Amino acid sequence: MKVRWMIAGAAAVLFALSTLPLGLHPSHSHMSAVAYEGGLATIAACDAEAKPADYGFTLEEHNGNALDFETLRGKVVLLNFWATWCGPCKIEVPWFVEFTDQYKDDGLVVVGMSVDDPAEKIESFVDDYNVNYPMVIGLGREDFQEAYGPIWGVPMTFFINREGKVCRTHLGIATRDEFEKDIKDLL
């Protein structure tokens, strides 16, 4: 438990430092590859060294259904770690609802994992925010959190491309436009 508090403290310091105007934005941790096409520099959709996503999980949704991550293979996945008490999460969730409506036919799947809430709290949140995508229970699922993390705080969002690579990561809130750009780049 002491290690988790040390990680949380380090994450808080990193988050505070990330708000300083240094001309860099920590949201896109896997976007360093630059390609030159026709003399124009473009950021690659996914870094060649991006780690593979772990599809070896079946998680319980807030409504009791099972979500087998293997069924997400071949889709673009926006995986968001959040909590019902998280203010920035409450800002992002309506965007994810919109993205689900707008891009699901193009192959986008949004998955929300509540890191520390029981099913009843998640159910109430889903109703209040008209959530239209799977909300899975992360309580007691440190194995899943560690497979994608470490999760230093919420919100934390990972983008997985169709080839099963974790291409982009947002620690903390990002803008709606940043999320939509990431989605479009990977679709």
pLDDT at 45: 78
- Model confidence pLDDT, tens digit, residues 168-181: 999 999 999 999 99
Average pLDDT over residues 94-112: 98
Q: Are 97 and 63 in contact (CB under 8 A)?
A: no
pLDDT at 16: 43
Q: Are 55 and 72 in contact (CB under 8 A)?
A: yes
- The whole-angstrom separation of Cα 82 and Cα 19 is 20
For residues 60, 162, 170 and 62, what is the CA-based torsion angle, rounded to 10 degrees? -10
Least confident of 16-25, 47-56, 76-85, 146-155: 16-25
According to CATH, the superfamily of the domain at 2-186 is Glutaredoxin (3.40.30.10)
- The whole-angstrom separation of Cα 81 and Cα 73 is 19
pLDDT at 4: 57
Mean residue pLDDT across the chain: 83
The better pLDDT of the pair 3, 171 is held by 171
Q: Are 141 and 118 in contact (CB under 8 A)?
A: no
Q: Domain residues of the chain, as ranges?
A: 2-186
One-letter amino acid of 14? L
pLDDT at 9: 52
Alpha helices (H) along 38-118? 87-103
- Model confidence pLDDT, tens digit, residues 48-100: 789 999 999 999 999 999 999 999 999 999 999 999 999 999 999 999 999 99
Q: Is 17's pLDDT higher than 80?
A: no
